[in-house]
Amino acid sequence: MKEKTKVSSDKNTFIRLRRLYFFALLTIGITVLLSQILIQYNLNQQRNDSRIINISGRQRMLSQKIVKEVLRLHFVESDSTDNEIVTLQKTLNFWSKNQEALTMGNDSLGFPKDKSKTLVLLYQEIQPSYKKMVEATNQFIQHKKRKSTKDNKKLVAEIMQNGDVFLQKMNEIVLTHDKEAHEKVTKQSLTEIILFVFTLLVLLLEFQFIFKPTNEKIEKLFSKLLSSEKKALKLAYNTEILSEIKENSVKELKSLNYAMENTLLYCRITNSGHIIHIGEKFAKRLNYNSFTKDIKFSKLLAVNEKEQQQIDRIILERQRSGWQGELKISINDTDFIWLDLSMVPVTIRKNESELLVICFDITERKKAQQEVERLNFENSTEKINQQKIISSKIVENQENEQNRIAKEIHDGIGQMLTGLKFSLESINLNDREKSEQKIEYLKKLSVDIIKGVRTATFNLMPPELTDHGIVSSLAKLTQELSKLTGKEILFYNKTDFDQRLDSLIEINIYRLTQEAINNAIKYAESTHIIVQLSHSEKILSINIDDNGKGFDKKAVEKRRNSESGMGLLFMNERVQYINGRVYINSILGEGTRVTFNIPI
């Protein structure tokens, strides 16, 4: 009884040591993993900090370059002035884009949106000088393009003054970034030292409380084994008990074998692929009987020759390492099953091994997955088709409505002109005073009628669009609207785009631009509107900028039933109909930018 108690105590001790050992290994593994994650994170932060410092330094260089190019354009006249203006504009755009990324943050460049209070304050201090420099440079460029020298001297002085302030503040920003990066590196070094010391401490504790006690226990165990060997002869009388234990073990093995035979699809095969033994359930599934000798597993499992070759190849290539995967097996010319099959190499004795194959029938699961994928594909296709139909109907209805309105206006105004003609003919020249009054009134009426006809017919379907294309029609649109409204509406073809597009695409681009300009006039109360067209190899881009009062995009989108809300909705529908994208950026009190990107 004492020996049993002692053995139980020793077993509990080994279990406790094993748990401590696993705990120590787990602690070391977690420590190493955390240290690697921390190191990689800090390295990534250092890369971002280095990139920010480099680009901040480049911003200083670009600001000086802008000042130099402005001075050269102002004081030196040359034949390449136009090229220098283009170069100055590109430099300014590149400089502004980088400054906005540094100030607001940029995920693609790795610039953080959240900054320290010191950096936030520095970026706020540099912003006025930056904006004044951008505005002055843009005005200077516009004057140079128009060959105007008005206020150029004042603009150059303002650019130089704000350039010096920008350079000074950017130096402070670079130094602050460098200081913060150095502080991060210092913290990282301290953290790595702490993790290293902690790992060493864990190893020391593991040696003291795990390896050393384990070694002592093993020495005692060997001593007991030697002692037990001497006592083995005295324990021969216990053979009956051992025999009983053996019989119980055999019963357990038989129960386990019965469970495997009747619940699992399994078999044993040689390394060449021939069946050694197959479970009862698997045999029934494959219509296999024990009288069939020397049959290959691949021929029993599949009827298709290619599938048999695939199974033989897997057995040949994976007989040492094993294999797990899904197989589609043909059981006749029309039916098939899916099996989740695992092959495990088993060593019987030295230089002799076999493969244990265990399968699970997953046919129903695969069919369910395929049905779900089919339904998802049909639903997505149906939604896309419905969206295209809706968009097409919207565009079609808009065009029909505009043509109808154009006809009604034309017919109505035509009748008014006819009445005007008869009124003129009915004037009695003998009554000079009344005739003069009537003629003066009819003149004003004629001007209003002509202006109305011109505005209505131009808005509905400009002949410029069908005759000369989108570029010419947009230029004409801005020119006519500027005359009719008294607003300053300008058009720029920045990349000299001169291609003709599909007529439906050109109509939609024209309508989208017209809608954006009308919104800027009607809702934003803008006085200055700029339409810019540019293109790349695959994208045509149109930007409409205004200096209006701006709006809250989220608030407008919620008001779907309002005129402005429906305007945004139809704008989105129309641009999606030609596979394009629309981006709207509006700031209350500052203005709005609408951008259309259309594939070409």
DSSP assignment of 388-456: HHHHHHHHHHHHHHHHHHHHHHHHHHHHHHHHHHHHHHT--TTSHHHHHHHHHHHHHHHHHHHHHHHHH
Among candidate residues 158, 100, 94, the one with its CA nearest the CA of residue 129: 158
Q: How do strand 591-599 and strand 581-587 relate by DSSP bridges?
A: antiparallel
The one-digit pLDDT tens for each residue of the chain (600 residues) are 555 565 566 667 667 767 777 777 787 778 778 777 777 776 666 666 777 778 877 888 888 888 888 888 877 766 667 788 888 888 888 888 888 888 887 777 667 777 788 888 888 888 888 888 888 888 888 888 887 777 788 888 888 888 888 888 888 888 888 888 788 878 878 888 887 888 788 778 877 877 777 777 777 777 777 777 777 666 766 666 766 776 766 566 565 555 555 556 778 888 888 888 887 777 787 777 765 667 888 888 888 888 888 888 998 888 888 898 888 888 777 778 888 888 888 887 777 788 888 888 888 888 888 888 888 888 777 667 656 655 665 566 566 556 656 665 666 566 667 666 766 776 777 777 777 777 787 777 777 777 666 666 666 667 778 888 899 999 999 998 898 888 999 999 999 999 999 888 999 999 899 989 988 998 888 999 999 999 999 999 999 999 999 888 877 766 655 555 566 777 888 898 899 999 999 998 889 999 999 998
* Residue-level pLDDT at 561: 53
What's the CA gap between 63 and 163, in Å, rounded?
6
> CA-to-CA distance for 141 and 129, rounded, in angstroms?
18
CA distances from 168 to 74, 130, 160 (A): 24, 12, 12
Instruction: Starting at the earlier edge strand, list the strands of the sheet with 591-599.
Output: 488-493, 528-535, 539-546, 591-599, 581-587
- Which residues does 567 contact at the CB level (< 8 Å), separation at least 6? 515, 519
In DSSP notation, 540-572 reads: EEEEEEE-S----HHHHHH-TTSHHHHHHHHHH
Helix (H, G, I), strand (E, B) or coil at 379: helix
* Confidence (pLDDT) at 489: 94
Contacts of 75 (CB under 8 A, 6+ apart): none
- Give the helix, strand, coil percentages of the chain, each rounded to 5: 70, 15, 15
Q: Which two tokens stand for residue 165?
A: 């302030």
pLDDT recorded at residue 413: 67
SS3 157: helix
Smallest Cα–Cα separation from 528: which of 550, 551, 512, 548?
548
Helix (H) / strand (E) element for 328: namely strand 323-330
Rounded-to-integer distance, Cα 346 and Cα 268, Å: 9
DSSP 8-state symbol, 359:
E
410: amino acid identity, one letter: H
Q: How far is CA 547 from CA 97, 387, 529, 582, in A?
A: 20, 34, 7, 19
266 to each of 122, 243, 257, 262, how far by Cα in Å?
A: 72, 31, 11, 10
